[in-house]
Amino acid sequence: MKIGIDKIGFYVPKLYLDIETLAINREVDPMKYKKGLMLDKMAVAPLNQDIISMGVNAAHSILTKEDIEKIDMVLFATESSIDQSKAAATHLISLLSLKKNIRALELKHACYALTAAIQFAKNHVKENPESKVLVVGSDIAKYGIKTDGEPTQGAGAIALIISKDPCIAEIENVSGLYADDIYDFWRPSYSPYAMVDGQYSNEMYKKFFLESYEDYLKKSRHKKEDIDAFIFHIPYAKLGLKTLSLIEPNIESNLYQYFNQSIVYNQQVGNIYTGSLYLSLVSLLEQGEMKDNSRIGLFSYGSGAVAEFYTIKLVNGYKNHLNKIYHEKLLENRKALSIESYESLISTHLTNDIKFEDENESYCELKEISHQQRKYNIKAV
């Protein structure tokens, strides 16, 4: 039985900060951010878009009535959790009208948790072939004003449906793994901002790639040539490029062409943590020309740290199941922020007793926080 990605979609909020605006205001040569880190725009969440509403918006863009009837598990991966106890996935039951005989939970392991959720979903479908699993990754990446990590922030959500006989890609069985106990990037529960040992995190990312890739090659008995394209967790595009060069020195290789197609969306959005690898996958599929049956290698990294390298195989006609025009419009129809508005947004941390006007800009928006509970507005469609 083939199990894999039946649908995939994303949501990004309607606001962004141009990376040149940030560089100029930080008195940094814009080329450092544009060429040195390969960034272009950074998605910024307005106060009425949180991880729940962004996750709902991503999921709403791919779900049909038939999917909703078959979904018996919903997994929500995030490292920007809004509650230490109540799982983000429970909000999706009401906001997406999912059925209630369902397993719903939230998963955390830095940027890796969405990959873990996808693997758990695959195993669930293996045991329950008629079921579909909704998997969501949603995050707001915040390092804070005037930090080294500031240009690599972002916000957005990915949603996938994992099922048998998938329309987009089969998930193959072998995973290369590597994990260790390190402090490269972390966020203590009392801090709204991530802590990071920047250059150390870069080194660990590359080391964990090599270790997990080698583990994959050993277990699968595949060679590099058996993989048509490599995609990466993208905290910023330059790190993916440098990591690819560790295994492919020839810059004329097709692998670089595919890599460039895989970062088009990430460069417009920034780091969305759990979703970044899968935003890169959507970018490759929608902006590239991968042939049916191509094999793609995915490198998932979560600080702290754990790495997984695994492969998917595109199915015949996968191109007919993408949402390219919708995604391009989503990215195009955003509003640029001034530096002052951006600073005000990222330094505001919502607490109780707040109410928003209905803006109806997206399918789902945060409406209010009262009695320590969040309520959302769903646009009539």
At its nearest, how many Å lie between ligand HMG and the CB of residue 84? 18
Catalytic residue at 79?
yes
Residues in region 225-254 near ligand HMG by CB under 6 A: 233, 235-236, 238-239
Residue tagged 């250059």 (tokens): 199
Alpha helices per DSSP H over 128-221: 198-220
**Contact call for residue 271 and ligand HMG (CB under 6 A):** yes
- How many CB atoms lie under 10 A from the CB of residue 237? 21
Check: CB of residue 247 under 8 Å from CB of residue 213: yes
Q: Confirm whether 364 is a catalytic residue.
A: no
The only residue of 32, 70, 295, 319 in contact with ligand HMG, by rule CB under 6 A = 32
What's phi and psi for 137, nearest 5 deg?
-125, 125
How many chain residues bind ligand HMG (CB under 6 A)? 30
Q: What Rg do the C-alpha atoms of the chain give, in angstroms?
A: 19
Alpha helices in 61-152 (DSSP H): 65-70, 88-95, 113-127
Does residue 196 interact with ligand HMG by CB under 6 A? yes
Q: Which of 268, 266, 288, 287 is nearest to 277 (CA)?
A: 266
C-beta of residue 274 within 8 angstroms of C-beta of residue 280: no
Q: Which of 199, 352, 360, 370 binds ligand HMG (CB under 6 A)?
A: 199
> Mapping DSSP to helix (H, G, I), strand (E, B) and coil, where does residue 26 land?
coil
Assess 111 for contact with ligand HMG (CB under 6 A): yes
Which residue's C-beta sits nearest to ligand HMG? 36
Report if residue 106 touches ligand HMG, rule: CB under 6 A. no
Q: Out of 35, 218, 224, 324, point to the residue binding ligand HMG (CB under 6 A).
A: 35
Choosing from 303, 311, 362, 377, the residue that interacts with ligand HMG (CB under 6 A) is: 303
Residue with Cβ nearer ligand HMG (74 or 306): 306
- Evaluated on CA atoms 250, 252, 258, 264, the torsion sign reads positive
For the chain, give the number of residues: 381
d(CA 86, CA 95): 15
| Rounded (5°) CA angle 374-362-155 | 75
Stated as kind and residue range, the H or E segment containing 55 is: helix 51-60
Of 33 and 216, which CB lies nearer to ligand HMG in the complex structure?
Answer: 33
**115 is an interface residue for ligand HMG by CB under 6 A:** no
Between 73 and 113, whose beta carbon lies closer to ligand HMG? 113
53 binds ligand HMG per the rule CB under 6 A: no
CA distances from 172 to 77, 220, 234 (A): 21, 10, 22
Q: Measured from the CB atom, is 48 or 274 closer to ligand HMG? A: 274
End-to-end, the C-alpha distance of the chain in Å comes to 36
Minimum CB separation of residue 112 from ligand HMG in Å reads: 7
Task: Tell me which of 91, 124, 233, 327 is the catalytic residue.
Answer: 233
Active-site choice (60, 91, 109, 111)? 111
Q: Does 307 bind ligand HMG (CB under 6 A)?
A: no
Interaction residues for ligand HMG, span 131-150 (CB under 6 A): 148-149
- Which residues contact ligand HMG (rule: CB under 6 A)? 29, 31-32, 35-37, 79, 110-111, 148-149, 152, 184-185, 196, 198-199, 201-202, 205, 233, 235-236, 238-239, 271, 273, 301-303
Catalytic residues: 79, 111, 233
